[in-house]
Copies of this chain bind each other. A is one copy, B any other.
Amino acid sequence: MTVIPSSLLQQYGASLNRFAKGEYIFHESWPAHFYFQLEEGSIKMFNSGENNDYIQGLFSHGESFGEPPLIADFSYPADAKAVTNCKIWVLKKVDYLRLLRDNPGVHFEFTKMLAIRLCHKTKLLNAMNTQNPEKRILTIIDYFKNKVPHPSPCYEVPFTRQAIADMTGLRVETVIKKVLRLAELGELELLDHKIVRH
């Protein structure tokens, strides 16, 4: 699951930096200068609006984030913020590009990951633009359920109703109501307010 082995990162000059809970790693519209890979903790990428936030992604141990602007020279399309205290491997852009050039296997795995992320966003765009709130919510839940192949058939959703709202473009009251409805319909189970998907 780890994108690039830490030994290889260190070999190219990466350093392990700490970010406090709530701290921003970068902001929307900033130019990209570094490769980031989470060693510990988790971060969220999101667009902040006046009323709304929209969560673009959630990343934790072993995952890298914010690489596309590094590769194709554009500015960040979203903010990145530490959800918990984090330790993050940080590598300068030129060193990262050199690492990719020197290691075709790593480069190919990276391309593969972009392809998978693109497919995910493709499916999300379809779901969020054409489906009703219930389906949108299930789409998001099932994405995270299947992200890491789970041993148990049932998946305890690790998000608040507000987080689901911020990933589906809905309002928190709507998510609350639709989740109760989905539980009635048997699509979800509620165990002491925790959402469980089978």
Contacts and interface: CB of A to CB of B under 8 A. Distances in A.
Query: Chain A interface secondary structure, helix, strand, loop or mixed?
Result: helix
Nearest to A75: B119
Given A72-B116, A130-B47, A56 B107 contact: no
A154 interface: no
A74 interface: yes
Interface string A40-62: 00000001010010101000000
Given A107-B107, A169-B129, A74 B119 contact: yes
A72 B122 CA distance: 15
B77 A116 contact: no
B122 A77 contact: yes
Contacts of A77: 119, 122-123, 126
A115 B78 contact: no
Interface string A70-109: 0110100110000000000000000000001100100110
A90 to B, nearest CB: 19
A39 interface: no
Contacts of A100: 108
A118 B118 CA distance: 6
A112 interface: yes
B115 A71 contact: yes
Contact of A128 (B74, B78, B169): B169
B68 A129 contact: no
Interface of A: 47, 49, 52, 54, 56, 67-69, 71-72, 74, 77-78, 100-101, 104, 107-108, 110-119, 121-126, 128-130, 168-169
18 contacts: A47-B126, A47-B130, A49-B130, A52-B129, A54-B129, A56-B125, A67-B115, A68-B115, A68-B119, A71-B115, A100-B108, A104-B104, A110-B111, A121-B121, A121-B122, A121-B125, A128-B129, A129-B168
